[in-house]
Structure 1
Amino acid sequence: MSKPLPIPMVLDDYDEYHGYACQAMDTLIARNVSFTADDLRDMTPAPSNPNWTGKVFQDYARQGLIVKTGYEMARAKARRGGTLARWVGVMRRATV
């Protein structure tokens, strides 16, 4: 397993944020429990564009690496109790 990256406060560059977010997403998936975008935000620096977090989830879902399992209320104050999806990683079997 790779060494965690040091976490700055806010990232202005999408590619840099994406690197942190993918590392966090891979960790969440490996835990084999459900998670939300709030969980990912807790593990990454704040992106300068709040839509970047959703894009990471969208990319992982399109690749079939995560699936939505339900909804709940967001904990983040900025979300004002809005709807938040709950996700789980998809275990893939190697093909020979």
Structure 2
Amino acid sequence: MSRPAVLTDPAWKANAVDAIERIVRRDGVVTSEDLRKEITAPEHANQIGAAFLAASRRHLIVATGYRASRDRSRRHGVIRTWALHPEAGGAH
């Protein structure tokens, strides 16, 4: 028997990708922590990674490295940092 699909808000990912682009254009770098501060939490935590993957596939962001999390609940766990993709150009 297969598992039931997770019911999610289809607009959440699109809003998240827009927020990722807005943050990286404003701050020069973006992390999942930045996204969580900017928009409401998704119905499922995996949606955050899916939003970053979508932004990357659209050539809006590019992975630049890792840093320690500043979120106390993550206890300095490692998170990925992203910068504006060279193909994304200037502000829209």
Which TM bucket (shorter chain)? Answer: 0.7 to 0.9
For residue 40 of structure 1, report the CA deviation from its aligned partner. Answer: 0.8
Secondary structure in 2 aligned to 1:49? coil
Within the candidate set 40, 49, 57, 1:54 is matched to: 49
TM-score in terms of structure 1 length: 0.70
Which letter does structure 1 place at the counterpart of 2:76? Answer: G
- 2:61 aligns with 66
- Cα drift, residue 32 of structure 1: 5.5
1:63 positional shift: 2.2
Q: Which amino acid is the alignment partner of residue 88 of structure 1?
A: A
**Could you tell me how far 1:20 is from its partner in structure 2?**
2.5
Tell me, what secondary structure is at the counterpart of 1:85? strand
Give 2:34's aligned residue. Answer: 39
Match of 2:13 in 1: 18
Unaligned runs of 5+ in 1: 1-11
Greater strand share, structure number: 1
The unaligned stretches of length 5 or more in structure 2 are: 1-6
Query: CA 1:74/1:14 → structure 2, altered by over 3 Å: closer, same or farther?
Result: farther
Kindly report the root-mean-square deviation, in angstroms, between the aligned alpha carbons of the 2 structures. 2.0
Q: Which letter does structure 2 place at the counterpart of 1:19? A: A
Q: What is the CA-CA distance between 1:80 and the residue it aligns to?
A: 3.5
1:3 maps to what in 2?
Answer: none
TM-score under structure 2 normalisation?
0.73
**Equivalent pairs: percent with the same residue?**
29
Q: Which structure features the higher share of helix residues?
A: 2
Q: Which moved more, 1:72-81 or 1:42-51?
A: 72-81
How many matched pairs?
Answer: 82
Asked whether 1:80 is paired with 2:65, we answer no
Contact 2:29 2:83 (8 Å CA) reproduced:
yes
